[in-house]
């Protein structure tokens, strides 16, 4: 799980400092994808007579700067006196240049400078930034060692660099595109790569297989306005052109709205202002066309505004993000629900299916668990929820008349994509619900819905979770719109939707201060338990996930009914148990769990929607939440747990937006 960024300028004059700032600025926007190390690569001959005018090969080896740590540490190193001495002069100008950069979350090799990207072949002939995993790298590495090549790092990426050099030198493949296609043919696994070489100055090849890679194009007209492109062969190579290569469109959203999403096996050759697509799968040296989409990203979503951290901003944005998820989709007066991808034909296809299967990972898996009871109540089909990782391992039987829903904030989750392939191969109906337009899941499913939650930067998901519950609940209402038996229940839920934003705002207002106090009490705990049942079993699991992600305190989410079947042995006077105990039809059973914990002298914190005398006598702390319809109560109930995780992390001195060892978009298995 890494972040890739590349910047190319043709007929656009940029100084070395501007190129470096562009690369590091782009990396900053994809830092959430990995932040244990970073690096970049630019030409070493900028400002010299042959910085583009001389096409003789090979060109001088490029400058590669790498470091462990985050982008700020890379910036400090790049502009240090020692490194500036080996770079071209900062004020040197170039009008034709390609730079690549990378932020890493280690999968192969420890976190150290030699394992940082860009990786290079033995003498710097090929430089590569790479996101993904090469599954056959040990075999390739052994073969290349026998051919006399050596290795400096422990990464699978260096193997790709050396393989490229072998193909050029010993196999005589001297066409850049053909060479990369052969690399793609020999390398197994999922990856996105940017490749540059001293043998091909002022050229770069980008390729994708299983990991996200996007390209943004910026070309201005004579009046200085952005030219809106429609196909990728439309840029005029004689005019000024800037091209951005990235794992995420956020990294170039401030510069251009023209974006193309690379498809699996795509190979993009960038040379002298010309951009040509090829397909490695077809193995033909003929170009293919790719549609240019128009990107709509609000730049204010990419800044923290007045908040100290993205996560806190995103917690408070939930009052608006749930409205955005509902906007134009539900009529609160008539109860009608309309979702663009869910046409009458598609709704009928779902309702005539044998069963509905929700498949996802992490927070998205918890959101699926949260809506499962609602689907079982409203939709006349068997409903199941699958962990995508386990699903891929088991390869259960999927039939053509199954409806498989894939839920993912990024739309690029590797395990979910593998599960999607299994379901597509079986001929099942595939439905995608993501927060990223143009993501792999949104493109590979038959139809689906966009969350409209806005950009989520914090690694720990907050507003995407609540929007997932909202959108999936809307789909449930849509699927039962013609069912006479559930009309009164539908009206009750519609009324709940109408007030959900107000309830979230009230929860933020009333629970913020007591939760902050609670976080101070719990910050030194070594272990916590969160209990819930019914709709709040998912809340308990999501709460536990948030606390462990951010505070690094072991936290387990358990169904109240499971307490007696083992976990009760963990309870003593040193254990704190957080209990979701909303005043719903499960209230008495949830209260019984509180009684059991209190009887073992455990410390109890209750989150409820209504004060209760017995609960007050048993609990050390009680946090009261606004009440709404039971199936949407989980949206309100998760708010204080998000705040708790945030403040515990803050008090423990942790990086709230970028917790250790985690990445926002899990694009590798």
Catalytic residues: 2
Q: What DSSP state is assigned to residue 60?
A: P
Distances (CA, A) of 133 to 102, 105, 130, 392, 557: 15, 12, 9, 17, 31
- Give the up-direction half-sphere exposure of residue 530: CA atoms within 13 A in the CB hemisphere: 27
Q: How many other CB atoms are found less than 10 A from the CB of residue 25?
A: 18
Q: How far is CA 445 from the centre of its chain?
A: 18
512-534 burial string, b = 16+ CB within 10 Å, else e? eebbbebbeebbebeebbbbbbb
Cis preceding-peptide flag for 58 (omega within 30 of 0): yes
- Give the up-direction half-sphere exposure of residue 488: CA atoms within 13 A in the CB hemisphere: 1
- DSSP string for residues in 436-464: STT-HHHHHSSEEEE-------SSS-SHH
Which of 456, 208, 451 has the alpha carbon at shortest distance from 311?
Answer: 456
Which of 97, 101, 86 has the alpha carbon at shortest distance from 50?
Answer: 97
Which of 585, 631, 629, 576 has the alpha carbon at shortest distance from 605?
Answer: 576
Q: What DSSP state is assigned to residue 227?
A: P
CA distance 37 to 43: 21
Helix (H, G, I), strand (E, B) or coil at 307: coil
Q: Which residues, listed in sequence order, are joined to residue 607 by a DSSP beta bridge?
A: 580, 623
CA distance 477 to 374: 9
Torsions phi, psi for 121 (to 5 deg): -75, 175
CA distance 52 to 45: 9
CA distance 644 to 349: 42
Is 196 in contact with 245 (CB distance < 8 Å)? Answer: no
Is 338 in contact with 328 (CB distance < 8 Å)? Answer: yes
CA distance 398 to 421: 11
What residue ranges in 377-506 does DSSP mark as E strands? 383-387, 402-408, 429-434, 447-450
Q: β-pairing, 603-608 with 621-624?
A: parallel
Cis preceding-peptide flag for 547 (omega within 30 of 0): no
Distances (CA, A) of 460 to 309, 336, 547, 663: 12, 33, 10, 9
């Amino acid at each position: 799980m890494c972040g890739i960024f590349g910047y190319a300028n043709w007929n656009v004059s940029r100084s070395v400092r501007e190129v470096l700032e562009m690369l590091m600025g782009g990396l900053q926007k994809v830092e959430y994808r990995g932040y244990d190390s970073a690096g970049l690569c630019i030409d070493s001959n900028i400002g010299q007579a042959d910085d583009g005018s001389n096409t003789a090969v090979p060109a001088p080896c490029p400058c590669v700067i790498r470091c462990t740590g985050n982008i700020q540490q890379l910036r400090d190193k790049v502009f240090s006196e020692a490194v500036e001495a080996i770079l071209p002069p900062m004020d040197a100008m170039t009008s034709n240049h390609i730079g690549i950069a990378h932020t890493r979350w280690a999968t192969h090799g420890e976190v150290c400078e030699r394992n940082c990207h860009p990786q290079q072949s033995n003498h710097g002939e090929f430089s590569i930034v790479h996101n993904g995993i090469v599954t056959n790298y040990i075999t390739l590495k052994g073969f290349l060692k026998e051919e006399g090549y050596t290795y400096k790092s422990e990464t699978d990426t260096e193997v790709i660099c050396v393989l490229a050099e072998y193909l050029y030198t010993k196999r005589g493949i001297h066409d850049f595109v053909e060479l990369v296609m052969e690399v793609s043919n020999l390398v197994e696994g999922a990856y996105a790569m940017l490749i540059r070489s001293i043998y091909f100055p002022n050229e770069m090849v980008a390729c994708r297989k299983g990991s996200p890679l996007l390209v943004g194009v910026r070309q201005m007209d004579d009046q200085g306005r952005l030219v809106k492109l429609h196909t990728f062969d439309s840029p005029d190579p004689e005019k000024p052109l800037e091209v951005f290569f990235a794992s995420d469109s956020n990294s170039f959203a401030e510069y251009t709205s023209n974006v193309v999403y690379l498809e699996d096996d795509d190979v993009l050759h960038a040379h002298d202002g010309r951009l040509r697509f090829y397909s490695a799968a077809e193995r033909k040296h003929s170009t293919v066309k790719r549609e240019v989409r128009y990107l709509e990203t609000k730049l204010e979503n990419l800044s923290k505004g007045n908040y100290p951290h993205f996560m806190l901003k995103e917690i408070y944005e939930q009052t608006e993000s749930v409205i955005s998820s509902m906007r134009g989709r539900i009529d609160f007066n008539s109860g009608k629900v309309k979702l663009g991808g869910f046409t009458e034909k598609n709704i009928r296809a779902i309702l005539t299916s044998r069963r509905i299967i929700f498949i996802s990972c992490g927070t998205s898996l918890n959101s699926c668990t949260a809506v499962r009871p609602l689907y079982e109540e409203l939709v006349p089909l068997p409903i199941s929820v699958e962990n995508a990782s386990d699903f891929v391992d088991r390869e259960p039987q999927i039939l053509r008349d199954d409806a498989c829903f894939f839920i993912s904030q990024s739309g690029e989750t590797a395990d979910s994509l593998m599960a999607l392939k299994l379901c597509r191969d079986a001929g099942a109906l595939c439905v995608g619900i993501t927060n990223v337009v143009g993501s792999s899941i949104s493109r590979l499913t038959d139809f689906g819905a966009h969350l409209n939650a806005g950009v989520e930067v914090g690694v720990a998901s907050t507003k995407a979770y609540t929007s997932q519950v909202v959108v999936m609940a809307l789909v449930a209402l849509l699927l039962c719109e013609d069912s006479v038996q559930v009309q009164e229940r539908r009206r009750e839920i519609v009324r709940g939707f109408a007030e959900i934003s107000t309830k979230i705002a009230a929860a933020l207002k009333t629970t913020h201060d007591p939760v902050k106090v609670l976080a101070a009490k719990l910050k030194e705990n070594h272990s916590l338990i969160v209990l819930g049942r019914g709709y709040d079993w998912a809340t308990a699991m999501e709460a536990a996930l948030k606390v462990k992600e951010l505070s690094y305190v072991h936290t387990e989410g358990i169904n109240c009914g499971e307490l007696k079947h083992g976990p009760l042995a963990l309870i003593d006077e040193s254990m704190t148990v957080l209990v979701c105990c909303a005043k719903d039809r499960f209230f008495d059973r949830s209260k019984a769990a509180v009684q059991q914990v209190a009887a073992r002298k455990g410390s109890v914190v209750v989150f409820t929607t209504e004060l209760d005398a017995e609960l007050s006598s048993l609990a050390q702390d009680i946090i009261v939440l606004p009440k709404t319809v039971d199936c949407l109560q989980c949206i309100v109930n998760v708010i204080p747990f998000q705040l708790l995780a945030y403040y515990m992390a803050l008090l423990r001195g942790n990086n709230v937006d970028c917790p250790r060892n985690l990445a926002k978009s899990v694009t590798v298995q």
